[in-house]
Amino acid sequence: MQGVDLPVDPAWLPDEAFRPIGTRRTLIRGSGPLVDTVHGEVAQACVRFGGSVSRDESPEPCDLVLELTGTDGGEAFTFQRGGGVTTVTASGGSGLLYGLFHVVRLGNAAFQGSSAPEEHRPASALRMLDHWDNVAVHPVMGQVERGYAGGSLFWADGRARGELLGRVRAYGRLLAACGINALAVNNVNVHEAEARLLTDRIGWVAEIADALRPYGIRTHLSVTFAAPMVLGGLPSADPLDAAVREWWAGASARVYEAIPDFGGFVVKADSEGQPGPFAYGRSHADGANMLAAALEPYGGTVHWRAFVYDHRQDWRDRTTDRARAAYDHFVPLDGQFAANAVLQVKHGPMDFQVREPVSPLIGAMPRTRLAVEVQATQEYTGQQRHVCWLGPMWSEVLRFRPDGVPVADLADAMVAVSNVGDDPFWTGHPLAQANLYTFGRLAWQPDADPGPILDEWIRLTFGSGPAAGLRAVLAGSWRTYEKYTAPLGVGWMVQPGHHYGPSVDGYEYSPWGTYHFADRDGIGVDRSVATGTGYAGQYAKAWAEVYESPDTCPDELLLFFHHVSYEHVLRSGKTVIQHIYDTHFEGMEEVEAAQRVWASLVDVVDAESHARVAERYEEQLRSAREWRDQVNSYFFRKSGVADAHGRRIH
């Protein structure tokens, strides 16, 4: 662990978690850089706790054997216990590293009883974090776009933060310990300072790659589609132009000279003002395949984002539905993408709202590789000032069956927008670490139950003392957040621009395609086939039928799919308006209750974490009250319907 410039929060890898290993005798067999990392981890634990570690041969019997049995670079490992010895075998260095962290997670249990060989293997080969970090401070978005954890770990004021490379390495260690193996180092909105990372500033990226490599993490780069023009001085970026293709081939070759195990490119094209193939009358498959061809000789992958929609819509235009856009743009291209191109699709059709249906694009392109993108950074879910554990939401997405097969099985890759910055707690709100950890574990095993993952995170991070209290404040926090914010799947209602705090009509007359259409009679967006935008028809038949009618549409998505009157009776038996009032009062009360639970943990949680979270609860409570009162007052004034329980509405 040389060069780690702690103190930063140890998160889910406190020294104590290594005690069961560090007090025992370990034998490590095999060689290679990742085996050296494993050895370094065990050796450090032994220095701390008094155990011993040998390489290849041991003079005495060992409690733990970690053995590399092959050279295939695989990520799977086998865990077993018999005859008083715990054994991890793997045919690749990454697998051995994951096996070590498995033992860490098990703690003493790894050294008790006996266990038949269990194979552990990640469901998908790509488990990635996208950092929306800017190299230069952006005038509106700052250093990290939608970042709520301080500055960037990688960049400050237009330069690489070489002084934080130790922390980058420690970050890689945390990521490996929850199963993440890829990371993109810069924002998908690529401004000029970031664009140059591809060319003359690739050395900066190489330094980051060097810091992450010992933990099995490959580095990726977001690139601008216009790079041949912006950086290469070409008159065009047309993907079918030979000079453009040649430019990308040359640029990729130079990237691989600097970073031989470079992962590939992430591209946001023809999206929110970013350049793309449409300008040349070319398709997104043409664009993606050009980059795929440049990366192909080196084993790289292009992550092509499907977040393509008209962000300059006229709010009066009721025929354009942003929710439809990704499906309409991409489904006709199924089968046209190269084998090393992955279409990266946000989990919902809009934009990381607290509640959305699963994107109909997922499952609709069987001949295209799919990455499902979620947002660990809490842009629309409290911005790491509110406690909002997103595990249950992501798990619902992964378990959803668009047409029989769960999303978990359809995804070739899982991607999350990172919630980490240079904050000593990594994530600003210490409890937001649970989102990062849960993402990694779900990316490894997408059909896992998130509840035990939360318990695992709590036990590793805080020990067993405060476990019940932590579970109480985190487990239901996403639903609590949903209760006091935008109701029944309608989304938005946030302050424009920064997206924090309530503004019911904040996006109502905007060009962004984000409307709730509330009037004195009712609210919601009619996306039915019969009378609305037809979006419901983008789903396979069974779901299209469920979503088509307000009678069968799940309550939590009702206003996403239908415009209904305030007196419409939900499947729950409540009217829409009473549901709005009740959930907003409840949501606020649940925050108050969680705050009390947190206060009661003062003696069982470390002082810094406790103080930081306590301070953020004050803000969460203030904000939840604001949400409650603005939303309830707005709908009371619109509808004129009184609260059945006579509570105070302003």
Cβ closest to ligand GCU, residue 84 vs residue 496: 496
Active-site position among 257, 272, 447, 618: 272
Residue (189 or 340) nearer to ligand GCU, CB: 189
Tokens 């140890």 -> residue: 10
CB closer to ligand GCU, 188 vs 453: 188
Q: Which of 75, 207, 321, 351 is catalytic?
A: 351
DSSP-assigned letter for residue 494? B
Is there binding between residue 307 and ligand GCU (CB under 6 A)? yes
Shortest CB 305 distance to ligand GCU, Å: 7
The binding track of 60-99 with respect to ligand GCU, each residue x by CB under 6 A or -, is ----------------------------------------
Alpha carbons 502 and 629: distance in angstroms, whole number = 10
Residue partners of 160: CB distance under 8 A and separation at least 6? 135, 154, 201, 204, 207, 208
Please, what is the minimum distance in Å from the beta carbon of residue 494 to ligand GCU?
Answer: 10
In angstroms, give the least distance from the CB of 148 to ligand GCU: 12
**Residue 136 structure tokens:** 């230069």
Any idea which residue has 């983008």 for tokens? 538
CB of 285 to ligand GCU, least distance (A): 20
Nearer to ligand GCU, 307 or 635 (CB): 307
Is 351 a binding residue for ligand GCU by CB under 6 A? The answer is yes
Site string for ligand GCU, 92-131 (x = CB under 6 A): ----------------------------------------
545 is catalytic: no
188 binds ligand GCU (CB under 6 A): yes
Q: CA-to-CA distance for 525 and 631, rounded, in angstroms?
A: 18
Pull the structure tokens for residue 366.
Answer: 């069987």
CB-based contact 174:11 (threshold 8 Å): yes
Q: Which of residues 252-281 bind ligand GCU (CB under 6 A)?
A: 268, 272
Closest approach, Cβ 266 to ligand GCU, in A, equals 10
| Residues 524-563: x where in contact with ligand GCU by CB under 6 A, - otherwise, as a string | ----------------------------------------
Task: Give the residue from 281, 278, 257 showing the smallest Cα distance to 269.
Answer: 278
Output 105 or 268, the one with its CB closest to ligand GCU.
Answer: 268
Tokens of 274: 């970013």
Q: Does 282 bind ligand GCU (CB under 6 A)?
A: no
Give me the half-sphere count of Cα atoms (radius 13 Å) on the Cβ side of residue 198: 29
Shortest distance, CB of residue 512 to ligand GCU, whole angstroms?
8
- Kindly state the number of chain residues that form the binding site for ligand GCU, as judged by CB under 6 A: 9
Tell me how crowded residue 107 is: count the other CB atoms within 10 A of its CB: 17
The answer to whether 201 touches 36, Cβ cutoff 8 Å, is no
Alpha carbon distance, N-terminus to C-terminus of the chain = 57
- Can you tell me the distance from the alpha carbon of 433 to that of 416, in angstroms, rounded to the nearest whole number? 13
Q: Given 75, 321, 379, 590, which residue is catalytic?
A: 379
* Residue with token string 């959803």: 400
| CB closer to ligand GCU out of 145 and 482 | 145
Q: Which is nearer to ligand GCU, 128 or 458 (CB)?
A: 128
CB 352, min distance to ligand GCU, A: 7
Select from 9, 41, 75, 145 the one that contacts ligand GCU (CB under 6 A): 145
Residue by residue, DSSP assigns 259-278 as -TT--EEEE--SSTT---GG
- Cα angle, residue 205 at apex, residues 200 and 207 outer, rounded to 5°: 115
Residue closer to ligand GCU, measured from CB, 311 or 399: 311
- DSSP, res 39: H
- Per the DSSP assignment, residues forming a β-bridge with 89 are 67, 78
CB of 179 to ligand GCU, least distance (A): 23
Q: List the one residue from 87, 124, 186, 189 that touches ligand GCU (CB under 6 A).
A: 189
Kindly state the tokens that stand for 556: 């939590």
> C-beta of 130: minimal distance to ligand GCU in Å?
9
Beta carbon nearer to ligand GCU, 512 or 561: 512
Coil/strand/helix, residue 136 = strand
Q: What are phi and psi of 223, to 5 degrees?
A: -125, 155
**Closest separation between CB of residue 483 and ligand GCU, Å?**
23
Assigned token pair, 636: 């009371």
**Which lies closer to ligand GCU via its Cβ, residue 462 or residue 560?**
560
Residue 188 or 285: which CB sits closer to ligand GCU? 188
Phi, psi of 40 (to 5 degrees): -60, -40
Listed in sequence order, the DSSP H helices in 77-191 are 93-106, 165-178
Is 163 among the catalytic positions?
Answer: no
**What is the Cα–Cα distance from 32 to 120, expressed in whole angstroms?**
21
What phi-psi label fits residue 573: left (phi over 0), alpha (psi between -120 and 50 degrees) or beta?
Answer: left
CB of 189 to ligand GCU, least distance (A): 5
Binding to ligand GCU, residues 455-494 (CB under 6 A): none
Site string for ligand GCU, 372-401 (x = CB under 6 A): -------x----------------------
Pairing of strands 85-90, 77-82: antiparallel
Name 478's Cβ contacts closer than 8 Å, sequence gap at least 6: 354, 381, 388, 389, 390, 391, 392, 393
DSSP letters for 566-599: TTPBPTTSSBHHHHHHHHHHHHHHHHHHHHHHHH
Residue 351 bears catalytic tag: yes
d(CA 340, CA 256): 16
Which positions touch ligand GCU (CB under 6 A)?
145-146, 188-189, 268, 272, 307, 351, 379
- Which residues are tagged catalytic? 272, 351, 379
